[in-house]
Amino acid sequence: MTAQTPDVRAEDVLLDGRVRIEDLVDRDGLDELCKSFHALFGIPVRVYSSEGALLADAAGEQELCAYVNTTPEGRKACSSVVSAVRARDAGDSGDLVHPCFTGAIYRIMAIEYDGRRVGRLIVGPFLPHTLSEPPASLAGVDPGISLERAKALLPKMPRAKAETVTRIAAHLKAALDLILFSGHKAHVTSTMHLASVRESYRQLEEKTARLQEAFDRLKELDRLKSNFLATVSHELRTPLTSIIGYSEMLAEGMAGELRPEQLEFVKTIHEKGGQLLSLIMGLLDLSKLESGTMRLAMRAARIEAVLGEVVSTLTPTARRKGVELELRLGDTMAELRGDPERLRQVFLNLVENAIKFTPASGSVTLRTRMVADDAEGEQEGLSLLAPTRSRLEVRVEDTGIGIPPRERARVFDPFYQIDSSSTREYGGTGLGLSIVKRLVEGHSGTIRIEDNTPKGTTFVVTLPQAAAIAAEGQRDTG
């Protein structure tokens, strides 16, 4: 089979359906088929394409023909008969007889497929049933031809009745037709398959382009939203600062002594104002982080300083709730490059959360340790790379209510809360963790959630080190 050119259109194959024998049939196989017919019936068979190319040949030279070919004129006459046979069309009926001067004949028959002629079958030379002697025409071709010799060779030529040849040819044509049909079907199937795949691919490409467009549009909208958020937060902060400031002044008695009830009201205004401000600051942080405009003041930072500060800030809160807060520093500490302010914000948030969700007599523990950078597939040269690739891990473990595994990825989404009722029970805006995650990522770090068996949650923050340095012993801070 010839190779399909990739740009064949299914429509052409479906409607045109023009077939060429040489495209559909294996040449050697066709040759074998003709040879088996020759072996079975003893009659030479050749198959020509509609363009006149010889596709299969099962015809040994007959002894009579070989004899005739030994004479110069005989050879000439023989080759002219052979080329006439080759050139001759099967005629309107699709079946005709072409005589040879030896008395033998050829049958030329059309091979049709799907109502079209696709080639010719040439059967012969063979002797007609009725012929008993070499015709006089044979001797006339060349004086060197002996009729006696020809007569002796004549019986060696195959001899057949016209009906027999018709039957044999019909059989061969039927076999060939089946092969053509099977080949055509396979050809159509594969063309269709290719076209279908191409069509599906084209559709997918279109769809992808549309999705990309929609995605770009959404990204643009998202950017606009972040800008809007930043602007609004900023604008909200200004009047709020006044509310907080003036309520503070009122509470301090700068506008005269307040009655206890008035003082209580003013303090509530001040407190709620403070809450509103922290929410707005959170929004501002988030929008800055999202738009990439937050600047981290990166410098050498020590995690024990950051965590120590966090623990001392939150120890009173923990005590009030009856939760034990503990810091356990590992024996090797790394110097980090980071923004200590923002790192403090990260751990304040995580520890505050941990305390919030841990019931009385529970505990919140901060642990640090150095871990090897164990990214998959990066084990080559580990002994060389590990010292420079190790990271600092800070684990914030609580014994609180825990986070179901399926929620763990989502808690870092802005405004997401596992269950909206927790807002009422525990407070919070749902902004904290999304800010934490972005800040950690801003430090090229990662954050994930693990179980704290048997109960509670562990937030694991890893941060790249500036250079590993050894710290002596393990220090516990209560």
Residue whose CB is less far from other proteins, 184 or 437: 184
Residue 463 CA to residue 446 CA, distance in Å, equals 7
Q: Does residue 189 interact with other proteins by CB under 8 A? A: yes
Cis upstream peptide for 359 (omega within 30°): no
Q: Does residue 188 interact with other proteins by CB under 8 A? A: yes
Question: What DSSP string describes 305-344?
Answer: HHHHHHHHHHHHHHHHHT-EEEEE--SEEEEEEE-HHHHH
Looking at residues 367 to 386 of the shown chain, list those that interact with other proteins (rule: CB under 8 A).
none
Smallest CA-to-CA distance from 17 within 111, 112, 114 is with 114
Residue 109 CA to residue 98 CA, distance in Å, equals 11
Residue 326 CA to residue 396 CA, distance in Å, equals 10
Stretch that binds other proteins, among 7-15, 61-69, 266-274, 444-452 (CB under 8 A): 7-15
Stretch that binds other proteins, among 14-22, 340-348, 353-361, 417-425 (CB under 8 A): 14-22
Q: Does residue 96 interact with other proteins by CB under 8 A? A: no
Q: Which of 11, 148, 376, 476 binds other proteins (CB under 8 A)?
A: 11
Sign of CA dihedral 44, 50, 53, 55: negative
Q: Which of 1, 18, 225, 320 binds other proteins (CB under 8 A)?
A: 18
Q: Which of 115, 143, 377, 427 binds other proteins (CB under 8 A)?
A: 115
Q: Contact, 401 vs 381, CB < 8 A?
A: no
> Could you report how far apart the first and last alpha carbons of the chain are, in Å?
84
Q: Does residue 114 interact with other proteins by CB under 8 A? A: yes
**Which residues pair with residue 365 across a beta bridge?**
326, 397
Q: Does residue 205 interact with other proteins by CB under 8 A? A: no
CA distances for 348 relative to 17, 139, 218, 241, 323, angstroms: 76, 120, 33, 23, 16
Q: Does residue 14 interact with other proteins by CB under 8 A? A: yes
Using DSSP's 3-state secondary structure scheme, residue 461 falls into strand
Residue 270 CA to residue 256 CA, distance in Å, equals 17
Residue whose CB is less far from other proteins, 200 or 231: 200
Q: Does residue 4 interact with other proteins by CB under 8 A? A: no
Q: Does residue 203 interact with other proteins by CB under 8 A? A: yes
Looking at residues 303 to 332 of the shown chain, list those that interact with other proteins (rule: CB under 8 A).
none
Q: Does residue 195 interact with other proteins by CB under 8 A? A: yes
Residue 34 CA to residue 168 CA, distance in Å, equals 11
Residue whose CB is less far from other proteins, 210 or 272: 210
Q: Does residue 193 interact with other proteins by CB under 8 A? A: yes
Interior/surface letters 297-315, b for 16+ CB within 10 angstroms, e for the rest: eeeebbbeebbbebbeebb
Q: Which of 2, 7, 16, 377 binds other proteins (CB under 8 A)?
A: 16
Residue whose CB is less far from other proteins, 116 or 217: 116
Q: Does residue 181 interact with other proteins by CB under 8 A? A: yes
Cβ at position 106, least distance to other proteins in Å: 21
Residue 197 CA to residue 178 CA, distance in Å, equals 28
Q: Does residue 401 interact with other proteins by CB under 8 A? A: no
Residue whose CB is less far from other proteins, 19 or 127: 19
Under the rule (CB under 8 A), what is the footprint of other proteins? 10-11, 14-18, 92, 114-116, 181, 184-185, 188-189, 192-193, 195-196, 199-200, 203
